[in-house]
Amino acid sequence: MDITLEGSEMESATEAAARSGDRSAWTELIARHNRRVMLALLAQGVLPAQAKEMAQEAWLRLITQADAQKLARLELPGLAIRQALFLARSEARKPGQQTESLDEVPEAFGESPETAFFDRERLQKAHERLQELAPGARAVFEKLYGDPQLSHAEVAARVGLSVQRVRQIVCEVRKVLRAELETQR
């Protein structure tokens, strides 16, 4: 069954290199995608300390699976998020026990690798609201939340703003979209 995949989820050259054992490629991918893995765990109510452990464990398992040639494709961040959420759920089911050994990456839990917290109508409304924002603010926001996902510093450099201003914009847009998502509750 098909699952909904991230825009970035076609295997990149870096992902292919990582899958065939290139450790520097792994390092680059972890640096780029670990934030999304962490957010997915935090959004499930996992506390930061545990989330860091689980994210780390998820990456380690992916590397181990790749080394054992058990990964047909490596598409990030979705695969790492699914692995991390699987660990979180295993942990929740069996507190204090080791999770079972994983020979394969678990299947998706539902259609998205990240649990949908808001229904599609709300997301669509928020999307429409986003379109109404000033083009500059929207561009900054889309670079930060789109694919490939860029850091604040990278976006600041590309749009010629300070990092501080980029963060202000993020908070302003977040405020608007938060209101949009929450008024629909």
Partner 1 sequence: MINKHLVADIVEQYVIGALDAESARFVEGHVAQCAPCAKLLQEEAALEVALHEVVRRKKVVSLNSRRRRIGAVVASAAAALAAGLVLVFSIEGEPPPAAQPKLRHCVDQSTASECISQGQFDGVITIGPDREPIIPRYDVTPGVGP
List binders of partner 1 among 68-127 (CB under 8 A). Answer: 111-112, 114-118, 120, 123-124, 126-127
Restricting to residues 124-163, name those near partner 1 by CB under 8 A: 124, 126-127, 130-131, 141-143, 145-154, 158
Residue from 14, 99, 133, 165 in contact with partner 1 (CB under 8 A): 14
Question: Using CA atoms, how far apart are residues 72 and 169, in angstroms rounded to an integer?
Answer: 39
State the Cα–Cα distance between residues 110 and 65, nearest whole angstrom: 22
Instruction: Report the sign of the C-alpha dihedral through residues 168, 169, 172, 175, in that order.
Output: negative
- 45 is an interface residue for partner 1 by CB under 8 A: yes
* CB of residue 131 to partner 1, shortest distance in Å: 8
- Shortest reach from residue 97's CB to partner 1, in Å: 22
Among 15, 19, 40, 88, which residue sits at the site for partner 1 (rule: CB under 8 A)? 40
8 A C-beta contact, residue 45 and residue 88: no
- Are 57 and 80 spatial neighbours (Cβ–Cβ below 8 Å)? no
